[in-house]
Chains A and B, each alone.
Chain A
Amino acid sequence: MTDITAPPLQGTPKTRSRSLFQLALIRFRRNRAAMAGCVILLLIAMFSFLGPLFVPHTYDQVFPSYVTIPPSLEPRPDASKLQDAIEGVAARARVRLDSFAVEGQSFTATISADEPIDPRATRYFDRANEFRDTKVDSSRDNGRTLMLTGKVDRDYFVFGTDTNGRDLLVRVMLGGQISIAVGLLASLVSLGIGVLYGATSGYVGGRIDNVMMRLVEILYSLPFVFLVVVLVVFFGRSFILIFLVIGAVEWLDMARIVRGQTLALKRREFVGAAEALGLTDWQIIRRHIIPNTIGPVIVFVTVVVPKVILLESFLSFLGLGVQAPLTSWGALISEGANNIQSAPWLLIFPSIFFVTTLFSLNFVGDGLRDALDPKDR
């Protein structure tokens, strides 16, 4: 009856079905704050791990002449210092300094004297700490005037230096490496212990479950900071042990969450089927229980990572963290807090990075929770 003909049907609809993971990913992508958090975290991680490749200084390199200098984009030593230095050199070489200019890492100077100057006078310049590789570029007036070029050692301290004369920029990068590494590794440790413990306790059930959960309750009632402090004092302060210790005390919540999930999963048909097929308890826990708890576990990990970074920094702040010359953001902040009056930049720079990281982790965690939480759908 109508002129409109229906478009020919294609064999299959164009839209493909989406897995739960894809749906979660789409929801996560839509969350602007979470995506921004991801990008910032990536940038901070790159800054911390790749940054040291682009800075000529190392984290334990001490610059005795640049102790506690404020941050500046200008290279050190600055032009007026170099001027003073070269005038001193000229006086020692008994020549007149006609002109002097610094550009980047090299300098040019014109010197003159009443008698022809011995080209070996360049050695006077090399002898000063600031200058090296001084060469005679050209000479005029039968050698009475020499044009010199040479190299100047100039260092950039964009973040300033600390009270020991170490470049704060590199130290903040190193602190980031350690804080991020501790955060991730300790979370993995707590994840491992918590998931295994919770899944076993929940799946085996009965008296064993009772005993295992009672143990968790007892550990909960221990003053938590005390446990960490004693464990750190006990195990020593090496980097590996610190994240093991933190992981070993952060698994309690994880164990509870996984146990709750397991109790629900245990009654599902596929577990019964697996049992009927004759799988052992351990096989069922490994193949059927743990993979199914992964959603809430991922969400919880995003809560644990910032918590762990905070805890590590707290330990470092109390002087129980990694030992010098290694450092972490917490240790740097503590150092900054001690020198707050004379060198506020020591507090400001590490704090900015630390707080930004925690904020981003927070947003990413919220985003993941919204994306993965089935209740929200």
Chain B
Amino acid sequence: MSFVLRRLASAVPTLFIVVTISFFLMRFAPGGPFNLERPLPPQTMANLMRTYQLDQPLWRQYVTYIGNAVTGDFGPSYVYKDNTVAELIGKGLPYSMELGFYALLLALIGGVLMGTVAALRQNSALDFSVMSLATIGTTVPNFVVGPVLTLVFAISLSLLPAGGWGDGSLRFLILPMIALALPQLAVFARLTRGSMIEALHADHIRTARAYGLPGRVVVVTHAMRGALLPVVSYLAPCAAALLTGSAVVETIFTIPGVGRYFVLGAINRDYTLVMGTVILIAIFVIVFNLVVDILYGLLDPRVRHD
């Protein structure tokens, strides 16, 4: 318990530094949220700047922002008027998280299964095909996979919808889910295969086999436990990335998630929106790292947090 608290406490300065760097980087970029193609009259501009407190010195804006952010107020969006950043994220996050969750499940289960099968039949045709798929997954980016999936399954075969959320049924989620999961699935498969091969050669596995335990028991209860360690440690960055949405996949499949806000925000100089998404991503990363550290302790008795 004290470990969890200590980790949470140490996350605060990290988060703080991330927020600070992002805040100032953003502000030093030329242009602003109201620099449109047709310049606004100076008076209007001045009024806008005053409304959003952009006319104040930068350090004061920073202090105000940090003060508000601590209480959960991330300010209004400059571009999506009438919406606060918290509202926008609140609206988009459920979509991104649902899609990300399914993609994570697919990547994790699929990757571990494929990796294990490949490791058990090392150097067979099955192993070879699994590893080829893994190579495809890591080398072909999802902005190629996504459109190609659309081309094949939505346009040529007309099996699945090409995009959108629809009524949220699984039909709409399958293609974006695959596009999102494939690179991660490849990583999981590679990790599992590598560590599984190592685990199967370990002494305790030989002992278990010598005792005459059935092969399934040996693999699932004894080898798997050790083999899953690298998978679990990769779970944190993977889950954080998948659950906070992907700008590319959400753009290709027109999903109203939170992933697009980040890129749109940066292009539109929507300072508060970008800051909001940065904080969101950072929190996800920190929380998942923590969860994984705890899981690690449960899986590997050699790791003790005290």
Contact = CB atoms under 8 A, between A and B. Distances in A.
Interface string B265-279: 011010000100110
A222 B267 CA distance: 19
Interface stretch (B56-64, B73-81, B119-127, B141-149): B141-149
A62 to B, nearest CB: 24
B25 A223 contact: no
Given A233-B267, A362-B139, A333 B18 contact: no
Contacts, number: 98
Interface string B38-51: 00000000000000
The 7 nearest A-B residue pairs measured at CB? A337-B147, A234-B29, A358-B139, A229-B266, A223-B281, A317-B143, A351-B144
Given A233-B29, A362-B135, A340 B151 contact: yes
Nearest to B279: A223
Interface residues of A, number: 35
Contacts of B282: 221, 223
A317 B151 CA distance: 17
B266 A233 contact: yes
The B interface is mostly helix, strand or loop, or mixed, namely helix
Interface string A339-369: 0110010010001001100110010000000
B148 A347 contact: yes
Interface in B256-300: 262-263, 266-267, 269, 274, 277-278, 281-282, 285
A320 B267 contact: yes
Interface string A313-337: 1100111100000000010011011
Interface string B130-159: 000001001111011011101100010000
Given A226-B278, A341-B155, A221 B14 contact: yes
Nearest to A344: B151
Contact of A318 (B31, B141, B247): B247
Interface string B5-45: 00000000010011001100110111100000000000000
B224 interface: no
B93 to A, nearest CB: 16
Given A310-B141, A355-B139, 9 more contacts: A221-B285, A225-B247, A226-B262, A226-B278, A230-B26, A313-B143, A317-B143, A317-B248, A320-B263
Contacts of B231: none
Interface in A246-264: none
Contacts of B151: 340, 344, 347
B22 A222 contact: yes
A151 B86 CA distance: 67
13 contacts: A222-B18, A223-B22, A226-B266, A226-B274, A226-B281, A230-B22, A230-B29, A233-B266, A318-B251, A340-B155, A355-B144, A358-B139, A359-B139
A230 B263 CA distance: 9
Interface in B223-262: 247-248, 251-252, 262
B147 A229 contact: no
A306 interface: yes
Contact of A337 (B25, B143, B266): B143
Contacts of B247: 225, 318
A226 B17 CA distance: 14
Contacts of B281: 223, 226
Contacts of A314: 141, 143, 248
Given A221-B14, A221-B285, A318-B247, A230 B266 contact: yes
A347 B147 contact: yes
A233 B267 CA distance: 7
Contacts of A310: 141
The residue in A337, A341, A347, A359 that gathers the most chain B C-beta atoms within 10 A of its C-beta is A337
Nearest to A357: B139
A1 interface: no
A218 interface: yes
A13 B278 CA distance: 66
Interface string A1-43: 0000000000000000000000000000000000000000000
B210 to A, nearest CB: 30
B261 to A, nearest CB: 12
Interface of A: 218, 221-223, 225-227, 229-231, 233-234, 306, 310, 313-314, 317-320, 330, 333-334, 336-337, 340-341, 344, 347, 351, 354-355, 358-359, 362
Contact of A225 (B25, B135, B262): B262
Contacts of A306: 139
Question: Which of A225, A226, A340, A341: most chain B Cβ within 10 A?
Answer: A226
Contacts of A344: 151, 155
Interface string B80-120: 00000000000000000000000000000000000000000
B141 to A, nearest CB: 5
Contacts of B141: 310, 313-314
Contacts of A333: 143-144, 147
B266 A334 contact: no
Contacts of B248: 314, 317-318
A318 B278 CA distance: 18
A223 B278 contact: yes
A337 B269 CA distance: 26
A340 B147 contact: yes
Contacts of A334: 143
Report which residue of A231, A233, A320, A334 has the largest number of chain B beta carbons within 10 angstroms of its beta carbon.
A233
Given A223-B278, A229-B263, A341-B155, A351 B26 contact: no
B146 A221 contact: no
A318 B262 CA distance: 11
Contacts of A225: 247, 262
A358 B138 CA distance: 10
Contacts of B148: 347, 351
Nearest to A341: B155
A227 B282 CA distance: 13
A133 B2 CA distance: 90
Contacts of B269: 233
Contact of A229 (B143, B144, B262, B285): B262
B17 A218 contact: yes
Contacts of B22: 222-223, 226, 230
